[in-house]
Each structure stands twice: as structure tokens, then as C-alpha cells.
Amino acid sequence: MPLEPLLPLFHRLNREHFDGQLTRDDRPLVDVRWSDGRLTRTAGFYRRGRDLCEIVLSRPLLEPLPRQATLGTLCHEMIHAWVDRVLVVREVHGPHFRARMAAINQAQDGFEVSLRHRYPLPVVASRWIACCPCCGSRTPYQRRRQGLACRHCCERLHGGRWDASCLLVFEPNTA
């Protein structure tokens, strides 16, 4: 899904599943934004800072996925915000969180809120391809390495010993 502005989604979910409690005078109680390209350890998080509460969704993880993944993740983080800011209860995925999650999942079937954000990491394109001059094998590498020989050929041709004739040649991956 191409990046979609999050604020309209936030307002819609707030109306439909939080009785409008996550806004005051139409202004969100939390900031909502997309991450930069580096947030890959989680699909999203909610955090309360000293003077700012925010929900951040992972651009690299969610962008390639269908829209339901963004809705489910945003809604998950909105439940955290609701427990924290509206109920003012300290819990992570405790009973309040779970009850609201179950109610939202029951009320609609456009997306699903789950306890964990289980999304596959997008495959990162490798920067280099290591080519073996003997057998022609091509192996992706993130980093260029010095003195690396083709293991297959060293075993096949040199009794398992490293041999300069099997040194891998690194080429930039243009794919």
C-alpha cells in the first residue's frame, strides 16, 4: 500500500471504536506519524514522552503490506494510547487492552488487531554479488569481503584448502 496519511485513519478509528475519546475538541491526544526508513524492529509503537505522546508506525514494514496491516497496527497502538491517556491505567497488554482488542475485532472484519505485530521483514536487496570464477556461482552479500574463496570449489578442487584460484570476485548488485 502506498503511504497513506495516518490522521484521517486515526480519526475514523477513534470515532468507530473509541467513542471519540482519543480527541479533545477534535484534536488528537497523541501525535500519529510514519517512521523514517529505519524502524524495522516493530511495526509500530506508542510512547509517552514528557510533553508529547505519539504513535509511530513503521514505514518500511507496513508500506509493502495491504492496508489492513496498517489499520490493525494503528488500532493496536491506539488501544495503548487509550489505556494510558483515557483510562489512565498502567498496563501493557493487560486486561483492559485485551478486552478492547476483542471488542474491536468482534465489531468489524476489515482488519484484525493482534497482540503482536507479526510481519515479515521486507527482503533487503544485497549490495554485492560475489562471483566464483571457477564454478560461476553468484552469492549475495551486504558487504564486500577480502580474501573470500568459493567454499564449494575449494572442496571440490583443492581438498578443502583455501586456494587463490577460487577467490570470489565482488560486483555491485545492480538488480
133 vs 143: CA distance, rounded Å? 19
130 is a site residue for Zn ion (CB under 5 A): no
Window 142-171: contact mask with Zn ion (x via CB under 5 A): --------x-xx------------------
Pairing of strands 128-131, 138-141: antiparallel
Q: What is the DSSP string of 67-136?
A: HHHHHHHHHHHHHHHIIIIIS----SSSHHHHHHHHHHHHH-SS----SS---PPPPPPPSEEEE-TTT-
Among 99, 102, 135, 169, which residue sits at the site for Zn ion (rule: CB under 5 A)?
A: 135
Binding piece for Zn ion, criterion CB under 5 A, among 6-14, 53-61, 102-110, 126-134: 126-134
**Shortest CB 80 distance to Zn ion, Å:** 6
Least distance to Zn ion, CB of residue 149, Å: 8
Q: Using CB under 5 A as the criterion, which residues of the chain lie in contact with Zn ion when the complex forms?
A: 132, 134-135, 150, 152-153
